[in-house]
Amino acid sequence: MSKFVGSYVNEMRDILLASALSRQNAVLLGSPGWGKTAVVRSLAGQLTGGQYAFARIDPSTPPDVVRGAYNPAALLDGRLERVVDGTAYDPGMRLAIIDEIGRGNEVTFDALLDTLDRLDDPNAPPVWATSNFMPSNERVKALIDRFALWYWINPQSLDVAAVTAAQLNGRGPQVDVSGLPTWAEIEEIRAADPGTNAVKAIGALLNDLATEAQVQGRRPHPRRITQWTHVVFRVGVWASGSADFNTVPDTAARMLRYCWPAITPDEAAGWAQVAASVVDTLGAAIEEAMTEVLNKMKLVASMGQAQRTAEITGLAVLMQNAQTTLESLAGDDDERVGEAVETMNRWLSLTVQGKPVE
């Protein structure tokens, strides 16, 4: 069995946990081969004790796969009664996974609208969806709007050495859940009532975010702000151990970078910059520094060998300056700075060899 490792796995784990805590839907996007389904099923199984629904979608999938088929025996009696065992509508399910949600046909999309926004059950399980892409046509706009958390896998996060070691070790695709809450603790956090201080802190943070979003041409509506509120509060309770925190914990604030519909990786990156400018100044600085370094390295990598050699010293200085700046902002050791430096060193190695830098 394969084991999927890397920083992106940890990011997916954190986003899916935020979804479970806040009862908001999440979608993971990226090209095939990154283990999206394996990660989702592993985490769902471990968190819920196996009490999760799973449906894989393709263009021929009927809506009954999502919402259950009508009971033939009941139909003979003139009753419309669905068999919901094992679906998102099963009362025993704690989570619902919709795999390859972007491949569904129009009728299935219509069924998913209800699954993603259950008016019949306020305690319905949140949906964890995966897809290689997200359709952007008019018909699915309503479906897209029902996801609070969005994550695009960044190909630059691939750690070849770690993946190789994991494959050779022969371990299964298990996501590390150490330090995460139990399901009983998740339910306790869901039931927590916010204190006055928490309401004030969250309100101030989200007001700043909404203002910055509008400056950047993004206008949040009440549904979006409601999603932000639930994600920030529930993750904040978990991170702080209190329902009346004075300051929004960084763990909760950072989730906001994933709280905007992003049909493409570029849109995700654009929103991350908006969110980081309000809730994560270090993250914004890291992205800005790495973008500058990456653009320069792509240029140098395309040069002839003699030109590349002449530019290497300048690249080293650029990287050192970026590292110094980030470390001064980080204060105490921050693993994100270390990861950024490792990534830039990999880029430098490719640049020296004249290989494409991605």
pTM of the shown model: 0.77
Model confidence at 2: pLDDT above 50: no
| Domain boundary, last residue among 169, 200, 221 | 169
Does residue 121 sit in the same domain as residue 135?
yes
Residue 358: inside a domain:
no
Predicted pLDDT of residue 292: 87
User: Same domain for 287 and 300?
Assistant: yes
Least confident of 157-166, 209-218, 248-257: 157-166
Q: Of the candidates 234, 250, 278, which is a domain's last residue?
A: 278
* Residue 269 or 73, more confident: 269
Q: Kindly state whether residues 249 and 156 are assigned to the same domain.
A: no
Return mean pLDDT, the chain: 87
The pLDDT > 90 percentage for the chain reads: 45
Same domain, 120 and 17: yes
Query: Could you tell me if residue 46 is inside a domain?
Result: yes
Specify the amino acid at residue 116. L
Residues 257 and 293 in one domain: no
Q: What angle do CA 108, 105, 81 make, to 5 degrees?
A: 25
Specify whether the CB–CB gap between 29 and 133 falls below 8 A: yes
Residue 313 banded pLDDT, cuts 50, 70, 90: confident
Residue that the structure tokens 């370094």 belong to: 293
Residue predicted with more confidence, 75 or 339: 339
Higher pLDDT, 158 or 235: 235
Is pLDDT of 325 > 90? no
Q: Return the pLDDT at 75.
A: 59
Q: What per-residue confidence (pLDDT) applies to 140?
A: 76
Same domain, 35 and 157: yes
DSSP string covering 20-76:
HHHT--EEEE--TTS-HHHHHHHHHHHHHTT-EEEEE--TT--THHHH-EEPHHHHH
Is residue 135 included in any domain, yes or no?
A: yes
Do residues 32 and 163 share a domain? Answer: yes
In whole angstroms, give the CA distance from residue 116 to residue 104: 14
293-302 pLDDT tens trace = 888 888 898 8
Q: Is 3 exposed, middle or buried (0-12, 13-18, 19+ CB in 10 A)?
A: buried
User: Does the structure show a pLDDT above 60 at 269?
Assistant: yes
The whole-number pLDDT of residue 199 equals 97
182 within a domain of the structure (yes/no): no
| Contact predicate 116/72, CB 8 Å | no
Strand partners, 151: 28
What confidence category does residue 217 fall into, taking pLDDT thresholds of 50, 70 and 90?
A: very high
Domain count, the chain: 3
- Domain match, 130 and 272 both: no
Q: Residue 174 domain-assigned?
A: no
318/238 same-domain check: no
Structure tokens given for 165: 């070691």
182 vs 134, more confident:
182
Asked if residue 270 belongs to a domain, the reply is: yes
pLDDT value, residue 12:
92
Statement to judge: residues 12 and 149 lie in one domain:
yes
pLDDT band at 142 (very low <50, low <70, confident <90, very high): confident
Q: For residues 207 and 141, which has the higher predicted lDDT (pLDDT)?
A: 207
Residue with the bigger pLDDT between 331 and 116: it is 116
Domain that holds residue 342: 281-352
pLDDT digits (tens, 9 = 90+) for 50-97: 999 999 999 999 989 998 887 776 656 667 777 888 999 999 999 999
- What's the chain's Rg over C-alpha atoms? 22
CATH number of the domain to which 60 belongs: 3.40.50.300
265 plus 293 within the same structural domain? no
Name the pLDDT band for 257 (thresholds 50, 70, 90).
Answer: very high
Q: Please, what is the Cα angle at 98 between 94 and 101, to 5 degrees?
A: 155
Q: What is the rounded average pLDDT of the residues 182-189?
A: 96
216 lies in the same domain as 297: no
Residue 233 lies in a domain: yes
Looking at the domain assignment, is residue 178 inside a domain? no
> Which of 278, 297, 328 is the last residue before a domain boundary?
278
